């Protein structure tokens, strides 16, 4: 069986207390933590930032903070320089994006290669519209529009699928990325809250891993009880067997994990799901 992950790599998740009203300060704080990560673990090859790290996570603020995605836009330019400076593959969390052709606003993940090139974007496909009794009411669709594509990016180490937060609850994106594009991991910049996080955060990460026998990576903002939205925290990495191999607490923190091709190959050989699926009985969503 050929390796879908070409070599063992180290990944860093930046659980950042961004999302303040000061975009420049949010970006600078991300830079400080990325610099710290590379100094602490110089062999780090992939760095991940949280969902909406550069702006408040609030439906009435998305349009105000939205950027047109161009090489010159504030956040794109800033993250590009960081990826190039440290020679890392940078999953730059997500930022509010505005499409000048349609005036629609999206929650968009940015992915940069080691040269600082923006190699792909992912617009959040499933919008977080929920009304949980005695819990939380939040409707992103008040200001955001949904994306319309599955996203898989090619890195020097293999393919990686990308989703954003609520996308995690829908297994199809991970299935398509893993089965059609041979991805070794799904990365979800995410901001689960203190209501949904305790019940489903770990469960969903482990499920996506076991379903597809891949790594699942969730990067959350740190919890800030002074903000209007209280993120759950607990950024984590789940291995192909569904074991949590790295996890943060609720405060600002950097966590590291080694992603090992042997873990994928061994589990797929011992539990050969890829040979045993019955597409004569049910459809293959990756087609």
Active-site residue (options: 23, 52, 140, 165): 165
Q: How far is 42 from 40, CA to CA, in rounded Å?
A: 6
Tokens read off for 12: 């860093």
Tokens read off for 66: 């939205």
**219 in active site:** no
Contacts of 245 (CB under 8 A, 6+ apart): 237, 238, 239, 257
Q: How far is 168 from 187, CA to CA, in rounded Å?
A: 9
Active-site residue (options: 124, 140, 219, 253): 124
Q: How far is 117 from 223, CA to CA, in rounded Å?
A: 31
Q: How far is 229 from 107, CA to CA, in rounded Å?
A: 16
Active-site residue (options: 23, 45, 51, 140): 51
Q: How far is 200 from 124, CA to CA, in rounded Å?
A: 19
Please state at what angle helix 23-40 crosses helix 74-86, rounded to 10 degrees: 10
**165 in active site:** yes
Contacts of 181 (CB under 8 A, 6+ apart): 152, 159, 161
Tokens read off for 57: 């996570």
**51 in active site:** yes
Question: Which residues are annotated as catalytic?
Answer: 51, 124, 165
């Amino acid at each position: 069986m050929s390796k879908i992950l070409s070599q063992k790599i180290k990944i860093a998740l930046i659980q950042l207390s961004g999302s303040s009203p000061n975009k420049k300060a949010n970006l600078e704080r991300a830079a400080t933590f990325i610099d710290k990560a590379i100094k602490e673990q110089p062999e780090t090859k992939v760095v991940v930032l949280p969902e909406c790290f550069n702006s408040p996570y609030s439906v009435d603020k998305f349009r105000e903070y939205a950027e047109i995605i161009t090489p010159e836009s504030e956040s794109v330019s800033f993250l590009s320089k960081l990826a190039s400076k440290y020679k890392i593959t940078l999953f730059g969390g997500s930022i509010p994006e505005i499409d000048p052709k349609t005036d629609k606003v999206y929650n968009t993940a940015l992915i940069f290669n080691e040269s600082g090139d923006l190699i792909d974007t992912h617009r959040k496909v499933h919008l977080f519209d929920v009304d949980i009794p005695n819990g939380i009411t939040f409707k992103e669709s008040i200001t955001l529009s949904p994306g319309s594509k599955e996203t898989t990016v090619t890195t020097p180490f293999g393919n990686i699928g990308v989703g954003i937060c609520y996308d995690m609850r829908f297994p199809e994106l991970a299935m398509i990325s893993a089965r059609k594009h041979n991805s070794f991991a799904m990365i979800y910049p995410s901001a689960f809250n203190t209501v949904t996080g305790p019940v489903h955060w770990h469960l969903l990460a482990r499920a996506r891993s076991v379903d597809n026998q891949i790594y699942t990576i969730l990067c959350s903002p740190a919890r800030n009880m002074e903000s209007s939205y209280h993120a759950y925290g607990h950024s984590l990495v789940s291995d192909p067997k569904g074991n949590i191999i790295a996890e943060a607490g609720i405060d600002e923190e950097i966590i590291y994990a080694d992603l090992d091709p042997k873990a994928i190959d061994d589990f797929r050989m011992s539990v050969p799901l890829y040979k045993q699926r019955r597409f004569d009985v049910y459809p293959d969503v990756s087609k």
